[in-house]
C-alpha cells in the first residue's frame, strides 16, 4: 500500500481536502495523511461544509503538524502551497516529491456567499488534481 503525506501551511483546508479525496477516490487503497508545514489551525468550517456537499463528512478531522510524521516513511510527499514547500522538513527515505501551488481559500475576504464560492472552486480544483494524480501514478 502506498503511503502519502500531503502538506499545506495550516492543515485547515487544502491538505485536508486532498487527503480525504485521495482516500475516497482510491477506495482506501492508499495510506494518506495531511499536515501543516507552518502552524496547524483548526479545520475551517467552510472546509467541512463544502466537503459535506460532496457527501463526505470531515467535521471531526484534526489538524496536525508535519512534525508528527517526521520519522515516518512515505512514497509521496506532496506540498500544496509554495510556503509549505519552502518550510517542509526533509524526510528520510526514498520518496517522490510533488508540488502543486494553490491559494488558501481561508484567507479570502468577502461575504459569506463569496467565501463559500471560493471554497467550492478550491475543492473542485483539488478533486480534479487528485483524480489526475491517481491516474498518473496508477493508484487504483
Q: What are the angstrom distances between the C-alpha of 57 and each of 4, 34, 45, 49, 112?
A: 21, 16, 12, 8, 21
Domain boundaries, the chain: 2-136
Q: According to the model, what pLDDT value does residue 92 have?
A: 87
Asked if pLDDT for residue 39 goes beyond 90, the answer is: yes
- pTM for this entry: 0.96
Residue 27 reports pLDDT greater than 90: yes
How far apart are alpha carbons 72 and 56 in whole angstroms? 27
pLDDT band at 65 (very low <50, low <70, confident <90, very high): very high
Instruction: Please give the pLDDT value at position 85.
Output: 96
Q: What is the per-residue pLDDT across 10-22, written as a single tens digit (0 to 9) for each?
A: 999 999 999 999 9
pLDDT at 98: 97
106-131 tens-digit pLDDT:
999 999 999 999 999 999 999 999 99
Within 8 A by CB and 6+ apart from 78, the residues are: 4, 5, 6, 7, 18, 97, 98, 99, 100, 133
Q: What is the mean pLDDT of residues 51-76?
A: 96
**Assigned superfamily of 2-136:** Response regulator (3.40.50.2300)
Choice between 88 and 49, residue whose per-residue pLDDT is larger = 49
Q: What is the pLDDT of residues 72-118, one digit of tens each?
A: 999 999 999 999 999 988 898 999 999 999 999 999 999 999 999 99
Amino acid at each position: 500500500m502506498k503511503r502519502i503525506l500531503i502538506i499545506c501551511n495550516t492543515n485547515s483546508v487544502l491538505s485536508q481536502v486532498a487527503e480525504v479525496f485521495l482516500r475516497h477516490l482510491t477506495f482506501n487503497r492508499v495510506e494518506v495523511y495531511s499536515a501543516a508545514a507552518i502552524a496547524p489551525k483548526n479545520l475551517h468550517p467552510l472546509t467541512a461544509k463544502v466537503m459535506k456537499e460532496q457527501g463526505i463528512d470531515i467535521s471531526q478531522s484534526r489538524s496536525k503538524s508535519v512534525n508528527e510524521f517526521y520519522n515516518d516513511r512515505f512514497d509521496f510527499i506532496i506540498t500544496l502551497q509554495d510556503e509549505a514547500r519552502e518550510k517542509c522538513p526533509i524526510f528520510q527515505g526514498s520518496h517522490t516529491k510533488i508540488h502543486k501551488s494553490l491559494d488558501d481559500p481561508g484567507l479570502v475576504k468577502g461575504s459569506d456567499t463569496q467565501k463559500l464560492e471560493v471554497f467550492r472552486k478550491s475543492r473542485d480544483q483539488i478533486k480534479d488534481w487528485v483524480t489526475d494524480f491517481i491516474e498518473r501514478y496508477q493508484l487504483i
